[in-house]
Amino acid sequence: SQTIHQWPATLVQPVGSPLSLECTVEGTSNPNLYWYRQAAGRGLQLLFYSVGIGQISSEVPQNLSASRPQDRQFILSSKKLLLSDSGFYLCAWSKPDRVNTEAFFGQGTRLTVV
């Protein structure tokens, strides 16, 4: 069966520090991968999605970047965090080449920038 791992679960970082959140998927090949941010426990904002290694699409220009160094690994990064980067970050995957498939989410990372 497929599983998704996202870590860390919580993170407190000072303003101006770098960020690296990692997400890995097991049990499937060539998944579509997504990074979402959820502010204040409400709606989801799609930040990045990837359909293959090295293929990253950015949905919202901001202080963050994403990379996919391996087929089932998706990394969210920042060189210098801002207070406004605080939020709940969710990684997700969906089956490739199937538009009618649901997304499977990781457990999320609560990021607090202080």
Partner 1 sequence: AQSVAQPEDQVNVAEGNPLTVKCTYSVSGNPYLFWYVQYPNRGLQFLLKYITGDNLVKGSYGFEAEFNKSQTSFHLKKPSALVSDSALYFCAVRPNTNAGKSTFGDGTTLTVKP
Binding site for partner 1 (CB under 8 A): 6, 41-44, 46, 49, 88, 90, 92, 97, 99-100, 102-108, 110
Instruction: Please say which residue, 75 or 90, places its beta carbon nearer to partner 1.
Output: 90
Contact by Cβ (8 Å): 32, 83:
no
Instruction: Please say which residue, 73 or 108, places its beta carbon nearer to partner 1.
Output: 108
Residues 6+ away with beta carbon under 8 Å from 98: none
How many whole angstroms separate alpha carbon 20 and alpha carbon 8?
9
Beta carbon of residue 53, minimum distance to partner 1 (angstroms, whole number): 19
Instruction: Please say which residue, 14 or 41, places its beta carbon nearer to partner 1.
Output: 41
